[in-house]
Amino acid sequence: MAELYELTLSQARSALLSRECGAMELTRACCARLRATEDRLHACLSLLEEEALAQAKKLDESGPEAHRPLWGMPLMLKDNICLRGSPTTCASAMLRDFVPFYDAEAAARLKSAGAIILAKNNLDEFAMGSTTENSAFGRSANPWDLGKVPGGSSGGSAAAVSAGQAFGALGSDTGGSIRLPAALCGCVGLKPTYGRVSRFGLVAFGSSFDQIGPLARTVEDCARLFEVIAGPDPKDSTSARLDLYPEGLPEQNFVEAAQAGGRSPEESLKGLAVGLPKEFWEQEGLSPEVAQNCREALQVLERAGAELVPVDLPHQKYAVAAYYIMSSAEAGANLARFDGVRYGLRAKAAADLDSFFVSSRSRGFGPEVRRRIMLGAFVLSAGYYDAYYRKAAQIRRLLRDDFDRALSRCRLLAAPVATRTAWPFGFTENDPLAAYKMDLFTVTLNLAGLPGLALPVGLGAHSRLPVGLQLMGRPFDEAALLRAGAALERLVPPLGAPAALA
């Protein structure tokens, strides 16, 4: 039999419910795997082993509860999701010692579903980056190649999940921060529709873009996590009230949809119209191995009966610019609260108020965060607002229109997650623009507020590193993504265990 940590979340749940193993045993297996791999990966910023084991013990004493969908399940949280009583650093010196006295809504939902939170994961500082190299507490490594980045900003979560440190994790996706690391580390990541998951307790980066979503080793596992965290929250005014939605809301049983896809892939894919945005597939710089794996996946879909439809997203070429303008504008304001007055890093003596703020913030924030704050202040400055922010907001609207058009003909769209597989550390260090372009295929969806699922479609022929395909869908139609994703997952060969940890 496989090691316990190698089970999928769904398998682990069966084992728990049938009492083949207990929560304690499962948690210990993850802790052991964590100790065996963490030196190499640095996927976690704080370990909550003691609390986790105590909770596992308590759960075991009362016995499995089938009505709690994550009962006894060891999971992790990206360290920008508040967990009551545990450090929540956002990988920033600014919040090195910050311990929230409240749970993020998503974390609270995991807990009440019976989950055990084992660790808080590394990330790019305040989720700004695509490599996890921008962490104030050291970079994370890719479990497939320790010399390469895991992607970002939820790099710690993706690396941990792929390595078997936990059965799943919650990340956040502002411009691709769940999908990119999932693709680069060879796991599955879901970026939900904007408004689907409460943002309460997620330390804000780009408030109109941010969504919390799951990372796990299979599509069904993602669906299980998603089903727990999805749903309206009165504490988040942007969380969607689906009961107020016009008629024709798509299927909302996510686990069932994923299971159906895996059980009968052909049936699930037959007649499914899958749009191929030419702006993605014809993108200059798309690496041949990524293109090849993704095209093979398309052929699998087609053979199973899906209909491939070429579509256009004419405003895609403006997406990266619009994204960085708007997300930086929001980030600048969101990060203004870190002023050293109430919590966080605080300058000691300062001559006056301004130098107090300047000194606290200059020491608290790393270079990438400072760059975005400055960019955000610039695009909102008097006289520049119309040229930048307003323009970007218009592009955002047009992009959503592009998607609405394409998705009126197709149930979902498919494209590579990134132009390439994982890249070496330091690759984008001196070229922020090159780093920003790593988000080329992912930011579009955040601008449009639509859901996207990244799943592995084999190892690149050249790099032998995971390649990810992205399925994009209609608003609140995550079920369609999960069903098709699970079907595809069933039809492509599995990646196996991460090579660098073998």
| Residues labelled as active-site residues | 78, 153, 177
In angstroms, the CA 188 to CA 194 distance is 19
Which among 496, 485, 473, 431 is positioned nearest to 144, based on CA atoms? 496
Q: How far apart are CA 76 and CA 450, in angstroms?
A: 25
Query: CB-wise, 67 or 342, nearer to another protein?
Result: 342
SS3 sequence of 180-248: HHHHHHCCEEEECCCCCECCCCECCCCCCCCEEEEEECCHHHHHHHHHHHECCCCCCCCCCCHHHCCCC
Instruction: Determine contact, residues 320/441, Cβ cutoff 8 Å.
Output: no
Q: Which residues of 431-440 are buried (b: 16+ CB within 10 A; e: fewer)?
A: ebeebbbbbb
Short-list 418, 401, 200, 425, CA closest to 313 = 401
Taking the C-alpha atoms of residue 276 and residue 318, their distance in angstroms, rounded to an integer, is: 19
Please tell me the distance from the alpha carbon of residue 21 to that of residue 32, in angstroms, as a whole number.
16
**Nearest distance from C-beta of residue 9 to another protein, angstroms:** 26
HEC sequence for 308-347? EEEECCHHHHHHHHHHHHHHHHHHHHHHHHCCCCCCCCCC
Q: Specify the residue, 6 or 339, whose C-beta has the smaller distance to another protein.
A: 339
Distance of CA 416 to the CA centre of its chain: 16
**d(Cα 440, Cα 281) in Å, to the nearest integer?**
12
Distance of closest approach, residue 445 Cβ to another protein, in angstroms:
17
Cβ closest to another protein, residue 339 vs residue 368 = 339
Judged by beta carbon, residue 275 or residue 449, the one nearer another protein is: 449
183: left (phi over 0), alpha (psi -120 to 50) or beta: alpha
Preceding amide of 153 cis, omega within 30: yes
Q: How far apart are CA 74 and CA 140, in angstroms?
A: 20
Which positions touch another protein (CB under 8 A)? 81-82, 88, 90, 95, 98, 100-102, 104, 199-204, 206-208, 234-238, 329-330, 332-333, 335-339, 341-343, 353-354, 357, 377, 380-382, 385, 389
SS3 458: strand
The count of other CB atoms within 10 Å of the CB of residue 417 is 30
**In terms of CB distance, is 89 or 470 closer to another protein?**
89
From the CB of 241, what's the least distance to another protein, in Å?
A: 11
Nearer to another protein, 333 or 499 (CB): 333
Q: Output the six-digit token pair for 445.
A: 């969806």
Q: How far is the CB of 198 from another protein (least distance, A)?
A: 9
- Residue 357 Cβ vs another protein, minimum distance, rounded to whole Å: 5
Cβ-count burial of 213 within 10 angstroms (0-12 exposed, 13-18 middle, 19+ buried)?
A: buried
From the CB of 99, what's the least distance to another protein, in Å? Answer: 11
| Closest separation in Å from C-beta 236 to another protein | 5
CA distance linking residue 30 with residue 72, whole number of Å: 12
CB 180, min distance to another protein, A: 22
Q: Please answer whether residues 467 and 293 qualify as being in contact, where contact means their C-beta atoms are separated by less than 8 angstroms.
A: yes
Name the residue nearer to another protein (CB basis): 254 or 389: 389
Sheet holding 452-459, edge to edge: 44-47, 116-121, 74-78, 168-173, 211-216, 188-191, 452-459, 466-473, 412-416, 273-277, 307-311
Min dist. Cβ of residue 483 to another protein (A): 30
> What is the rounded distance in angstroms from the CA atom of residue 471 to the CA atom of residue 394?
25
